[in-house]
Amino acid sequence: MGTPEFAKASLQEINENSKHEVVGVVTVPDKPAGRGQKIHQSEVKKYAEENNLKLFQPDKLRNEEFIKSLQNLDADVFVIVAFRMLPKAIWTIPSKGTFNLHGSLLPQYRGAAPINWAVMNGEKETGVTTFMIDEEIDTGKMLLSESILIDENATAGEIHDELMAIGQKLVVKTLDSLENDSIKAVSQKNAEELKAAPKIFKEDCKIDWNKSIYEIHNHVRGLSPYPSAWTIINGKSAKILRTRISSEDFDAEQKNLHLTKNNLYVPLKDGLLEILEIQPEGKRKMSAKDFINGSQNVTQMKLDN
């Protein structure tokens, strides 16, 4: 059960590189998306149809006919990756239970956006965890986990791809272990400080230029490429997609954008932040150099906080 590319990778790994049989696939219904409101199909659906897998797209998970269809599959286990919260009537169906692949090292970063928040908070390490589903969100007993290091300039998109690759392997490893009963589920131990990963809204993405240079840099890379950090330049919205903390000297009294022929900088109270990639409102994403070359009155650009 899953929806985006992150989930499709695990489905593909189970279907093509494991001894386990996929007896059914559940994903969200098709829906209009984008400016043209074209009907959008999930990545999981596309893969399921391409590989002739039995597909379900329920509007309501509590639908009795849908639940009966799942029971009739006689599955040993349900695998959940980036999907909706399931009712108990579903996750209790399989004989070996239902497990989820989560994009963090639980119990930290429970919630909808664990990868984004780990990067935004400047974490040095993250990972993936498989755990058994229970009544609460992301609190079930843990099965397996694997960690990776986070580079100081890595974006959430880059970490997403790393975790997707190790996650799909971990899902199969978890299935193997459940099959031969070689795994013991362990209760999550709450740390003194639990960091949450709630859903991110547009207002959460606005850059606060009064914060420290490290907070702003982490904010930008933690939201790149999606949903993207944004700011106002000369009254117009612009997405800031990639930055770098510069070692160049700067005038701390300067409050607006500082430009050279090829570089775009923001002087902050504790350093100089270089903007490497930007997407002005209504335009494609571009390098700072292209942005400078295509802009008028670049020396008068102002940031609105």
Residue 300, pLDDT above cutoff 60: no
Structural domain that includes position 56: 5-179
pLDDT at position 35 is: 72
pLDDT at position 254 is: 62
Shared-domain flag, residues 161 and 209: no
pLDDT at position 301 is: 62
Count of CB atoms within 10 A of residue 282's CB? 7
Shared-domain flag, residues 22 and 154: yes
Which phi and psi (to 5°) does residue 11 adopt? -60, -45
Tens of pLDDT, residue by residue over 245-286, are: 998 776 666 666 777 778 889 988 888 999 999 999 999 999
Q: How far is CA 69 from CA 25, 62, 79, 83, in A?
A: 12, 12, 16, 18
CB within 8 Å of 239: residues ≥ 6 apart: 228, 229, 230, 278, 279, 285
Beta bridge partners of 243: 275
Cα separation, 120 vs 15, whole angstroms: 34
Task: Judge whether 196 lies within some domain.
Answer: no
Task: Judge whether 190 lies within some domain.
Answer: no
Shared-domain flag, residues 114 and 229: no
For 165, the token pair is 């690759």
Shared-domain flag, residues 163 and 16: yes
CATH of residue 105's domain is: 3.40.50.12230
Residue 36, pLDDT above cutoff 80: no
Tens of pLDDT, residue by residue over 103-138, are: 999 999 999 999 999 999 999 999 999 999 999 999
Cα separation, 131 vs 294, whole angstroms: 50
Which phi and psi (to 5°) does residue 26 adopt? -120, 130
Shared-domain flag, residues 132 and 209: no
Q: What total of structural domains would you count in the chain?
A: 2
pLDDT at position 52 is: 98
pLDDT at position 257 is: 75
Residue keyed to tokens 């702003």: 216
pTM comes to: 0.94
Work out whether strand 98-102 and strand 78-81 pair parallel, antiparallel, or are unpaired: parallel
Indicate the DSSP class of residue 204.
G
Q: Residues of the chain with pLDDT > 70: what percent?
A: 95
